[in-house]
Amino acid sequence: MTGMTDSSAEDQEERHRLTAFEGLAALSLDALSSVAYGPQAIVIVLGAAGAAALDYTLPVTIAITILLAVLVFSYRQVIEAFPGGGGAYAVASRHLGRQASLIAAASLIVDYVLNAAVGVSAGVAALWSAFPNLYGARVWLCLGVLALITGVNLWGVAESARVFIGPTVAFIVSMAIVIVGGLLRSKPDVVISGEHLSQATAAVGLLLLLKAFASGCSALTGVEAIANAVPEFKKPRARRAQHTEMWLGILLGAMLIGISVLIRKFHLGIPPDDSTTLAQLTAAAVGHNIIFYAIQLITTVLLALAANTSFGGLPVLASLLARDNNLPHLFRLKADRQVHRYGISVLAVLAAILLVVAKGNTQALIPVFAIGVFVGFTLSQTGMVRHWHEQHSDGWLARACINGLGAVLTAAALAIELVSKFTEGAWLVVIVVPLLVLLFDRIHRTYDRIGQELGLGKQPPPPHKIDSLVVVPVAGLSRLTAEAISAALSIGDEVRAITVCFADPEDEQADVEFRDQWEAWHPNVPLITLRSVHRVLAPPIIKYLRELEADDRHDRLVVLIVEVQPAHWWQWILYNQRGVILQRAIQRDTVNVVVCRLRYQLATVAAPAGAAPTL
């Protein structure tokens, strides 16, 4: 029976995981949708040197595509070597040391948050490119789309992937229509407006080309997400993830090259503020008709959903960090639908803050975009070189050479990114990444200290009975009071009930009546009245507990606080918060007092005498 139960649970969990096709929809949207802003970033940089400089758009894109191919081959090897997921963090942790792994993790976290914000803002930009009247509401639209994506991801990984299959296929078909339609036309279907570029071209130097390359590398973000989330795939996990990585590289490379060819063919310049390069290409290829608006809406949806790559990758990475005691352990927890709800929620909050600060402007986020992921790229490829050298298996040299080439190229791209974008905002990443590493270190040291104090992993001394005094705060007689005294008598050698009486004639009279009721009830537990001049609950109780602490007659001093668990979340405000107030005061102002809070369901407490309470 146990074996059948375990098998059933495993099958149920497996149903919430991804196929290769679903993985492409859930984890590749970031990379695929980057064709909407990656080529535009190249155009904006080259356009500063004049119209003729835009002829270099295609060569720069080819260089980026070559780097993409190297990364795809490299990350297929990462998936094979590290089927437990984690990508750059897992590789660096094993082969480059703890600090390198934390740098990789911090860099990827920065990139995931930026990707979520950029994906949403770019999607909304595609919307107001088709409907300019929506420009003023772009921030609210961004927040609404982000909330929708967050809700879908909290619903479940596989469920969210199935939702994204339709938009992913529609976007791929749309890009094929734009590229094929543009290639078949001898001239644009409509007149393309844009910023006027001087025909007198400034010298197109190496620095300008490198800056364009760095800006265009924003199209490569998301390539690592599949390697980070291998555990989210169905069995055989590594093989499915490798297939997904391969198809991602093929589709992304083809779209980047196709769009760059059209930019060169139609001589596109810097787009106006109320449009995008992709919108201009779509109009040139299919015209201003229903197909144009349909493609813009599809692009809007996919760009917004591209943030889902972050929602698939960051929670898994945060879970691995929590496993290694570098983040709070709650990031390790999963909900019923196999989602890391805390990682998803934190990502959504951080992305929302970025969208508000950037006012929903994609170009304001691009300068700091992709830097973090290239740190991860470089560390991952370097770690894989050491991995193959240590393995020394058949073909290890060829594999090491592929990863070595990837390390060199990504390190060069990272240097270019930092130099060319430093004054535009890249300095923020240089500050944030070390701060995150320091945060991880502090959390790790805290867990180490707690582990040493608790003796985790060590055999404790034999258990023995401890003489304990249980103090129960009460305010009146009720079924809840009876449950509290019964629980206290079950765990303590001596039990005392305490009540607080304020210096007020009405309260004094109520205390006399309460004492008479207590004596009539006769629970064989003394009731001690604590006097207070001021109408505050905690100070007199804390004073009494300190006096008990000074008395060494008992080995353990326990305060038992009983409460009613609200039947609905909105009923929480209807109950007094004395339990919270007392717990905080006791933890703050005493040393050796143990606080025990018991929450009873209201229906159970109200049950007939003799029924077992439900905690």
Residue 520 to residue 336: CA distance in whole angstroms: 49
Q: CATH assignment of 468-605, given 2.60.40.1180, 3.40.50.720, 3.30.70.20, 3.40.50.620? A: 3.40.50.620
Could you read off the pLDDT of 310-320 as tens digits, one per residue? 787 788 888 88
Higher-confidence residue of 282 and 49: namely 282
Residues 528-543 have a mean pLDDT of: 86
Smallest CA-to-CA distance from 499 within 465, 534, 475, 463 is with 475
Residue 233 to residue 20: CA distance in whole angstroms: 7
pLDDT of 371 strictly over 50: yes
* CATH class of the domain whose range is 10-447: mainly alpha
Phi, psi of 495, rounded to the nearest 5 degrees: -125, 135
Mean per-residue pLDDT over the chain, rounded: 81
Could you read off the pLDDT of 420-473 as tens digits, one per residue? 777 777 788 889 999 999 999 999 999 998 888 888 778 888 888 888 899 999
CA 210 to chain centre: 32
Domain ranges of the chain: 10-447, 468-605
3-state secondary structure of 532: strand
Task: Give the H/E segment covering residue 587.
Answer: helix 578-589
Residues 162-170 have a mean pLDDT of: 80
Global confidence as pTM? 0.70
Could you read off the pLDDT of 341-366 as tens digits, one per residue? 788 889 999 999 988 888 877 767 76
- At residue 437, the pLDDT reads 94
- At residue 441, the pLDDT reads 93
Tokens of 222: 């998301």
Higher-confidence residue of 3 and 315: namely 315
Residue 296 to residue 362: CA distance in whole angstroms: 16
Higher-confidence residue of 535 and 197: namely 535
| pLDDT band per the 50, 70, 90 thresholds, residue 608 | low
Q: Is the peptide bond before 315 cis (omega within 30 degrees of 0)?
A: no
| pLDDT band per the 50, 70, 90 thresholds, residue 609 | low
Residues 174-191 have a mean pLDDT of: 83
CA 283 to chain centre: 36
Most confident of the following: 39-53, 168-182, 364-378: 168-182
| pLDDT band per the 50, 70, 90 thresholds, residue 337 | low
- At residue 190, the pLDDT reads 65
Beta-carbon contacts of residue 438 (< 8 Å; ≥ 6 apart): none
Tokens of 254: 């083809």
- At residue 560, the pLDDT reads 93
| Per-position DSSP letters for 380-447, written without gaps between them | HHHHHHHHHHHH--TTHHHHHHHHHHHHHHHHHHHHHHHHHHGGGTHHHHHHHHHHHHHHHHHHHHHH
Higher-confidence residue of 348 and 204: namely 348
Q: Give me the percent of the chain exceeding a pLDDT of 90.
A: 14
Could you read off the pLDDT of 232-270 as tens digits, one per residue? 788 888 888 889 889 999 999 999 999 999 888 887 877
- At residue 412, the pLDDT reads 85
Residue 298 to residue 304: CA distance in whole angstroms: 10
Could you read off the pLDDT of 505-522 as tens digits, one per residue? 888 888 889 999 999 998
Measured N-to-C along each axis, helices 341-357 and 308-323 cross at an angle, to the nearest 10 degrees, of 130
CA distances from 157 to 27, 173, 334, 345, 388 (A): 10, 24, 11, 14, 32
